[in-house]
């Protein structure tokens, strides 16, 4: 069994190529201590991040997702992060209605020179996910819970004959 | 001349310049109206108007883009037409809109429940009549009268657009929108009242019934990708064909997210669902979010740009996080 089993959670990070990936690199070159739960996926721009990437990751069992791009007004493509900001904010507010704790997802901006800021972001976010613990899963919902919500909409939402 | 007759006359006048006019006709039984594509005067005579016109005919417009067509709309349908115009999916010069004031449409599931309670089967319906206040259904030899207000679609009770928001021909006097009766939508309120883990259980419970027929998608006037839907793409492979609640829920998330800022709450997704899955609640929740963030409502202003297709340098309602 890997030594970190039970100590690490699965956090997926979507980082833009031009700022945040560079920022994470800066943190690495600077040998700043960081938690190691985060798996980074490099994307060309935060504007490339389809909110569905995040939804799919969380629905399928990741414990957390972190998105980081260039600061507003600093985007390599001028406006990718402005579109991203709207989409990501909408997604963040959508998660709780799906049954996913919104604290499992966050987005932020880190520039290539901000190694220290990256260290802080990744540490704070990882702590937040550890506080929430491993993500509950749709396929592990208890029978009690299912019975509890079965009649939630009363007549009108659950009209299928038994 | 009744309003319907006047509408038919106006459609017949316009028909020579049009490929067809889309409306509704009686279906295989009196409870089910079906879409009607009017190409001749004889077709126009089949046109129906009233609480059985449940479908949103705007769903056909994108497939007919490039042809000059007419469309008969209820208020909610007209918002879909406006949203399609906003997104340049159809051309204003190619669509002629006919509208009448709408007093609401039935929710077939509610009618079925009423009939079942009276010991009659919806499948045996032989006649329906309506006077705008009551719907009377004759099934299996007995006639069951039900107040329209009790069997109409939930959306009709809160409708703020009973008259077409955009029309080239409007027949009849516009009617006043319903007072925002039920403050919150019952389905949304029920979800709001749940804890986050309960909501996870809720969707798991409902998605287990989903048969992935995609009727919810196909009935949606704003789902325009059709054969290119990512639910069926192999490259990239967004969804497997596995019959799991998570795959099915993810499909609903795809639908809802692709409708964010575009959905006009016509309710067709939920109405079309053969399994009575409350999928509309997801879209209503997103609409509420979009309204909170961007003070925006879809399908009202043909000139407006949907909020996720634009941005502001400084957003009014999005707070930057301080780490
Ligand atoms: S998602 Fe549902 S309510 Fe919204 S536009 Fe499509 S069919 Fe209508
Ligand atoms: S219409 Fe209902 S059963 Fe069919 S795919 Fe949509 S949610 Fe599932």
CA pair distance A127, A87, nearest whole angstrom = 25
Place of tokens 């980074």: A40
- Summarize pLDDT for A83-92 with one digit per residue, the tens: 999 999 999 9
pLDDT interval class at B239 (50, 70, 90): very high
The answer to whether A90 contacts chain B (CB < 8 Å) is: yes
> Model confidence over B185-211: pLDDT tens digits?
888 999 999 999 999 999 999 999 999
Alpha helix (H) ranges present in A6-79? 20-29, 51-59
The pLDDT tens digits for A128-149 are 999 999 999 999 999 999 999 9
CB contact under 8 A, A154 and B190: yes
ipTM: 0.92
Cα B19-B23-B27 angle, rounded to 5 deg:
120
The model carries a pTM of: 0.93
Residue A158 has pLDDT above 50, yes or no: no
Write the pLDDT tens digit of every residue in B40-57: 999 999 999 999 999 999
Which mutation among B213, B253, B267 tests ligand 2's pocket best, with the greatest number of atoms within 8 A of CB? B213
> B116 in helix, strand or coil?
helix
For chain A, where are the alpha helices, taking DSSP H only?
20-29, 51-59, 80-98, 115-132, 143-149
Q: State which H helix or E strand residue A13 sits in.
A: strand A11-16
Residue pair A37/A131 in contact by the 8 Å Cβ criterion = no
* Ligand closest in space to the Cα of B258: 1
Quote the tokens at residue A21. Answer: 């990936």
Structural element, H or E, at residue A19? none
Nearest to B312 by CA among B288, B295, B289, B287: B295
Tell me what the pLDDT averaged over chain A comes to.
Answer: 91
Which residues of B fall within a CB distance of 8 Å from A154?
A: 186, 190
Measured by CA distance, the residue closest to atom 7 of ligand 1 is B220
Distance, CA of B28 to CA of B33 (rounded, Å): 8
pLDDT digits (tens, 9 = 90+) for B94-123: 999 999 999 999 999 999 999 999 999 888
pLDDT band at B227 (very low <50, low <70, confident <90, very high): confident
State the pLDDT at residue A161.
Answer: 38
State the DSSP H helix or E strand holding residue A108, giving kind and residue range, or none if neither: strand A105-109
Find all residues with CB under 8 Å of B309, minimum gap 6, and list them: B261
Peptide bond into B236 cis (omega under 30): yes
B268 to chain A, closest Cα gap in Å: 15
Return mean pLDDT, chain B: 94
3-state DSSP assignment of residue A39: strand
């Amino acid at each position: 069994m890997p030594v970190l089993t039970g100590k690490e959670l699965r956090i997926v990070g979507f980082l833009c190529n031009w700022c945040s990936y560079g920022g994470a690199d800066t943190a690495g070159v600077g040998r700043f201590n960081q938690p190691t739960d985060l798996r980074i996926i490099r994307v060309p721009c935060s504007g490339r991040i389809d909110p569905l990437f995040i939804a799919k990751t969380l629905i399928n069992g990741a414990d957390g997702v972190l998105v980081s791009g260039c600061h507003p007004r600093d985007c390599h493509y001028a406006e990718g992060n402005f579109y991203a900001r709207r989409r990501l904010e909408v997604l963040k507010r959508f998660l709780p209605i799906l049954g996913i704790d919104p604290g499992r997802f966050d987005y932020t901006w880190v520039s290539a020179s901000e190694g220290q800021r990256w260290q802080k972001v990744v540490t704070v976010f990882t702590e937040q996910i550890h506080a929430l613990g491993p993500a509950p899963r749709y396929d592990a919902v208890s029978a009690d819970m299912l019975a509890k919500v079965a009649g939630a909409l009363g007549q009108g939402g659950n009209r299928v004959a038994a | 001349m009744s309003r319907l007759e006047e509408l038919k006359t106006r459609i017949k006048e316009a028909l020579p310049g049009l490929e067809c006019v889309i409306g509704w006709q009686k279906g295989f039984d009196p409870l089910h109206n079906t879409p009607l594509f009017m190409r001749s005067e004889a077709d126009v005579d089949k046109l129906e108007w009233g609480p059985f016109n449940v479908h949103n005919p705007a769903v056909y417009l994108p497939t007919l883009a490039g042809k000059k067509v007419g469309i008969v709309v209820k208020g909610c349908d007209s918002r879909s037409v406006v949203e399609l115009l906003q997104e340049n999916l159809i051309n204003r010069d190619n669509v002629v809109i006919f509208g009448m004031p709408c007093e609401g449409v039935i929710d077939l599931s509610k009618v079925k429940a009423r009939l079942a309670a009276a010991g009659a089967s919806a499948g045996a319906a032989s006649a329906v009549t309506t006077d705008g206040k009551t719907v009377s259904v004759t099934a299996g030899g007995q006639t069951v009268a039900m107040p329209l207000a009790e069997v109409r679609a939930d959306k009709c009770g809160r409708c703020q657009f009973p008259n077409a928001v955009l029309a080239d021909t409007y027949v009849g006097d516009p009617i006043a929108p319903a007072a925002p009766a039920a403050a919150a939508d019952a389905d949304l309120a029920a979800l709001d009242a749940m804890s986050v883990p309960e909501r996870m259980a809720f969707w798991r419970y409902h998605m287990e019934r989903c048969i992935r027929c995609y009727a919810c998608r196909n009935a949606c006037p704003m789902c325009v990708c059709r054969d290119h839907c990512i639910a069926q793409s192999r490259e990239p492979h967004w969804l497997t064909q596995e019959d799991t609640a998570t795959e099915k829920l993810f499909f609903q998330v795809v639908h809802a997210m692709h409708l964010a800022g575009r959905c006009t709450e016509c309710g067709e997704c939920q109405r079309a669902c053969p399994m009575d899955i409350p999928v509309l609640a997801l879209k209503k929740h997103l609409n509420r979010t979009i309204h909170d963030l961007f003070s925006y409502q879809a399908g009202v202003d043909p000139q407006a740009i949907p909020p996720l297709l634009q941005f502001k340098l400084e957003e009014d309602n999005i707070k930057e996080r301080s780490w």
